[in-house]
Amino acid sequence: MKKALILSAVCSAFALFANDDIKYYTFSPAANPGVQVKDSMILLSAGKQIVLNLPDAADWGDLKMKLACQYKLENASAVTIKAEFKNSDGKVQTPIAVKTGNKKGSFQELSFEFWVKSGVRSGRLILSAQNGSAVIRDLEITHSELAEKELAQLVANSVTSVEPGLIDAPQPTAKELAAAAIPELKEPVKMKAEAGNKLSVTAILKNGKTVQASFTVPMQQIRKAAKEYCGSLSVNGKMPNQLISCYGGLIPESVKITSTDEKNVYQAGKDFNADGKRSRICKVKTSAMKFPVYLNYQYRWHRIDSVILKDGKLSYRTGKEVRIIPAAPELEPGEVRVANVYLSPDTTRLTDGNCYPISERFYPVKRPPVADKLLPKTMKKLRNGEPILIIAWGDSITNIGYEIPNWKKARWQVQFVNGLKKRFPNAKIKLVTEAWGGRSSNYYLDPKLNPGPGMPHNYQERILNRKPDLIVSEWFNDGGMGYSLLTSDKSNYKKMLYDFRKIGAEWIIIVPQYGSPNGPFDAASQKKIVHRSQYLSFLRQFAPANRIPLADVSARYVRLSKQGVPIMALGTFGVHPGQAGLKVFADALLELFPEK
């Protein structure tokens, strides 16, 4: 494994030389006039320390280092050499301090090895002599790859440092909340649902003026499906069938199932059961139903309406009813959206649960970009226009293609790479997607599930052998793994960390969005989602502990209701994002990178 630092050719104390595998730092007297040098030897005197600075870098990575020199005790009793390395957070690693003394009058050989954990940005050597004078010559530091055993130990220590517990998403400051608020309002609007599907809205404008309005909210149209062909129904809902015409909002009592000649009519409860919220129908085990059959039923679709402020007046605009992934109506020039009303397909009357006052125009938490510190190789190639390979690796959310027109261009990884190209016009990025829907990372890493070469999703061939510069991983389905499996010796994340560092690949981890195929789907519950799990907590500890950038999509999703957006507006049953939901992923990733 080759390791390289981002360095200048000459630093304050050392000159840099290199071959393909090892970097050399040799003391250069001319580069450091503050050090006493005679005949290319460093002079040490009692009571004085000499500090030799190593080159600064965004992140040196995991390094195996070796120091070698010759020393001579003139009248000193010993020579001490201490190595110190500083992380970006200011913490100091002191991997070694060597004190040596031997017979006086002749040069002695000195060499020792040590390793430095990822995170180091600068380093120095501190030289001193005890009780007299001494000289040092031929001082040299080299660094190369960590041995397999050393890298494994480093990774093991990193993983076991993560503690159990529920870590919440980052919270915005008061200043960030103020920046995200609607500037035309003093505070978010007040909304009240009243009898007869009436909606009362009160807004306090920035100048203190109060504006009130009342609107009648039309309910969704009841739609009908007739003679929808069905070739089979699973038994007892083990694999319940998804209806073609609706996605949520089935009216169960309206379901009628007949034979295709319409001579036989099957009975609810006796022959079939209907799930209204998930729009699914299953066969009762004892049913005599013969296939194919016709399905006849009624249903409602989704809709998002908006309350709009313009010229100090409030108005109401209905959105378009759609089967899935609804969108708020478009605004005209000068209009400000101050609230949304989400009519989930099961809505039969207006309640306060349908009301979404907007308190944040966008995700408010702002963090400085970390790519220069944590992804130095990637940043160097982006800026210099060098070829760079990015692998997007994950499950169905990475593979995507569900209910999305032109889905290949809508993928989060495509939106992310397009964003990078705008910021770095000279970038030569190759994007490879390796994804396996319905699977966890275990299906790649467990040899029992993916036993060897030639498998369609072989981990070694599809990820490691490609030698990517950057891997962006998204594992929604890893949320099903127990905490012990995340942190034990068999942890997938421990293996990923080891493997990626071994091949020199940088890594971004995505904290996936909230989602459940079992709901909640109703309008009121969409506002109450707080996604807390051991998996998300693990990622929020593991990534910073190992200097891995974290794109926290979940943190953005749980604040969507404050922006007037129900989770269902961004994807299918809250699991598979549509284009707007995938943009949240891209935004979280791009936040890690500087603008240029």
Please check the confidence at residue 274 and state whether its pLDDT lies above 70: yes
* Higher-pLDDT residue of 241, 490: 490
Query: Which of 227-236, 270-279, 448-457, 502-511 bottoms out in mean pLDDT, i.e. has the lowest?
Result: 448-457
pLDDT band at 143; cut points 50, 70, 90: low
Residue 403, pLDDT score: 61
Over range 537-557, report the average pLDDT: 91
Query: How are beta strands 506-511 and 470-474 bridged, if at all?
Result: parallel
pLDDT band at 154; cut points 50, 70, 90: low
In order of 210, 352, 438, the CA distances from 339 in angstroms are 16, 12, 36
Q: What count of other Cβ atoms lies within 10 Å of the Cβ of residue 531?
A: 19
* Higher-pLDDT residue of 152, 169: 169
188 half-sphere exposure, CB direction, 13 A CA radius: 19
* Higher-pLDDT residue of 357, 164: 357
CA angle 256, 262, 265 (to 5 degrees): 45
Residue pLDDT, tens place only, 294-309: 999 999 999 999 999 9
Residue 155, pLDDT score: 65
The answer to whether the CB of 238 falls within 8 A of the CB of 297 is: no
Buried b (16+ CB within 10 A) or exposed e, 383-403: eeeeebbbbbbbbbbbbbebe
Q: What is the mean pLDDT of the chain?
A: 84
Residue pLDDT, tens place only, 186-211: 999 999 999 999 999 999 999 999 99
Over range 534-552, report the average pLDDT: 89
Residue 521, pLDDT score: 77
Please check the confidence at residue 65 and state whether its pLDDT lies above 70: yes
Closest by CA to 328, choosing from 587, 568, 531, 584, is 568
Tokens of 184: 């035309």
584 half-sphere exposure, CB direction, 13 A CA radius: 27
Residue 26, pLDDT score: 53
Over range 139-148, report the average pLDDT: 65
* Higher-pLDDT residue of 189, 85: 189
Share of the chain above pLDDT 70, in %: 83
Query: Which of 27-31, 256-260, 263-267, 541-545 bottoms out in mean pLDDT, i.e. has the lowest?
Result: 27-31
* Higher-pLDDT residue of 87, 24: 87
422 secondary structure, DSSP code = H
pLDDT band at 226; cut points 50, 70, 90: very high
CA 166 to chain centre: 17
pLDDT band at 159; cut points 50, 70, 90: low
Please check the confidence at residue 91 and state whether its pLDDT lies above 90: no
* Higher-pLDDT residue of 41, 477: 477
Please check the confidence at residue 248 and state whether its pLDDT lies above 90: no
pLDDT band at 434; cut points 50, 70, 90: very high
Over range 506-526, report the average pLDDT: 84
Backbone φ and ψ for 587, nearest 5 degrees, come out as -65, -45
Q: In whole angstroms, give the CA distance from residue 472 to residue 549.
A: 10
pLDDT band at 402; cut points 50, 70, 90: low
pLDDT band at 333; cut points 50, 70, 90: very high
* Higher-pLDDT residue of 333, 163: 333
Query: How are beta strands 576-577 and 571-572 bridged, if at all?
Result: antiparallel
pLDDT band at 460; cut points 50, 70, 90: very high
Buried b (16+ CB within 10 A) or exposed e, 43-76: bbeeeeebbbebbbbbbbbbbbbebebbbbbeeb
Tokens of 24: 């050399």
Please check the confidence at residue 501 and state whether its pLDDT lies above 50: yes
In order of 197, 213, 507, the CA distances from 315 in angstroms are 16, 8, 48
As its CATH architecture, domain 366-590 has 3-Layer(aba) Sandwich (3.40)
Please check the confidence at residue 586 and state whether its pLDDT lies above 90: yes
Residue 259, pLDDT score: 95
Which superfamily, per CATH, for 14-146? Galactose-binding domain-like (2.60.120.260)
CA 520 to chain centre: 24
pLDDT band at 7; cut points 50, 70, 90: very low
Round to the nearest angstrom and report the end-to-end CA distance of the chain.
30
pLDDT band at 417; cut points 50, 70, 90: very high
